[in-house]
Chains A and B, each alone.
Chain A
């Protein structure tokens, strides 16, 4: 669904590239995470792929359309959920979606159905300018689904949302994956990437440093250690057990069978730790 090869982009149109030779592929129904700190080139890549920025160098095909020549088919196939809530403040939530759907030449979703999906049905006829930040974000999220996109670009989809709403949005994303929608998710939030993405790409200073599934990365970069808290003689003790050494495995089995364990954590690496290991910088 997405086929990108040696993509370069320079805002100053010289050798100072914001994106340098980025290549990757995303298959149908996959959620592909683009993970990187601010200014790493995530948004620039997404803008080029959605036609917001012109192609300068390299090759990019989205839904089989050459991004160098974006056409009606491309825009009918994609949905873009922007990070910043760019909505018509003087129009109601319903009017925002109703206006937007008329821009497409494919069958569209019922605006009310989408508002219900993101929990805005009661505010459907209220001016969007009076919405809270979270409500505006949900409206943008709903709008990006209006044309039933085959490829869905999500830019920080749960940024600024409270935990309940964020979980609701994540559920919608998972449901859309089940329906076969391909997703390109840009974020610097490692938890959402870990939870939702089939594969993630680490991008830093315009270059992709690594592409793999979160599970593989964690196995590859994590330690084979289990951190345990247990009670002994009425006191709580903390100890690390190797998952490889026989002696540690036996001791751990004993603690489990005696029912002394209070807490138990495997020590696989987080995506943020892996990112730091690979790029030498954090995700913030």
Chain B
């Protein structure tokens, strides 16, 4: 174990001191921060209200039925919140005891209309001449935030394996594999040590992404499991890139080729209707994408989980069997 951890520590040190690897480590976090701050509409796809606590529990509870509620103690605080980058309607009462809507003025139609309807409903006033209802489809996370986060997560998982691959390239370029080969370190320990970083990085990335975007899932353990299982194919690809590339430039070229192929399945999973997904079943990344999506949407069942994990493991197994000799040879 001491040797495995030492190899992991060395790879980690090397990754933080190599510009390309450092870039691979921080880019998922930068992309997530970008998604969080530069796409304000990621939060506005669902209704959210900033309420003055003076409105009382009855009103607050009523608003909670229709969306996310934030409570503030003063109108100034509500105004500050409304001025934030996303769309949110502020609701308070004026001195006469009438409801008052606080808006920036540039919100979309629904942000203004829905709180008005709720207020009218509370007052027993029906302005609309037609009946309508708000259907809660159970989606608590805006689609842009969900698919954006999912795409970054899958990228982070893939980059974890690639980081391992580039550390192998570094060992090959410097000839240090030869120096390690005349120590008691076994090939198994070398592979485990190299794999450690490719497993740890995606886990750290995935949970940082979830935290930054604010997608809180009750299935954290399942998310961890799916990340680890998905990292297996990423590691295999990383090892393959590592053994077939003689230097960083050829490593980048090989990574690009493999990434383009795998990205197609992620794009397909987002854009194609479900009945066309059969064309994406060949890609383990597709199953990772779908598996993580189910977990984040809290739409996971034992059957779905088993299918997703089973498909990833089966496809990883096939890739392993067809590349193991090449990898074994490359590490010798």
On A, residues with C-beta under 8 Å from B are 50-52, 72, 75-76, 78, 80, 82, 84, 86-91, 95, 99-100, 102-105, 127, 140, 143, 147
Contact = CB atoms under 8 A, between A and B. Distances in A.
Grouping DSSP codes into helix (H, G, I), strand (E, B) and loop, the A interface class, with mixed when no group exceeds half, is: loop
Contacts of B170: 88, 90
A47 B181 CA distance: 11
B174 A52 contact: no
Interface string B160-198: 000000000010001110111111110000000000000
Given A90-B14, A143-B179, A103 B3 contact: yes
Given A76-B184, A88-B170, A103-B184, 14 more contacts: A75-B182, A75-B183, A75-B184, A82-B175, A86-B176, A86-B178, A88-B14, A89-B174, A90-B14, A91-B13, A99-B9, A100-B179, A102-B3, A140-B179
Interface residues of B, number: 21
A42 B270 CA distance: 60
B13 A103 contact: no
B183 A90 contact: no
A104 B184 contact: yes
B18 interface: yes
Interface of B (DSSP majority class): helix
Nearest to B178: A86
Contacts of B183: 75, 100, 103-104, 147
Interface of B: 2-3, 6, 9-10, 13-14, 17-18, 170, 174-176, 178-185
B248 to A, nearest CB: 12
Contact of B181 (A52, A90, A91): A52
20 contacts: A52-B181, A75-B183, A75-B184, A80-B182, A82-B178, A84-B175, A86-B174, A86-B175, A87-B174, A87-B176, A88-B170, A88-B174, A91-B14, A99-B6, A100-B183, A103-B6, A104-B183, A104-B184, A105-B184, A147-B183
Contacts of A143: 179
A82 B178 CA distance: 9
Nearest to A72: B184
| Most A CB within 10 A of own CB, among B14, B180, B182, B184 | B182
B300 to A, nearest CB: 41
B18 to A, nearest CB: 6
Contacts of A72: 184
A90 B178 contact: no
Nearest to A75: B184
Nearest to B183: A103
A82 B176 CA distance: 10
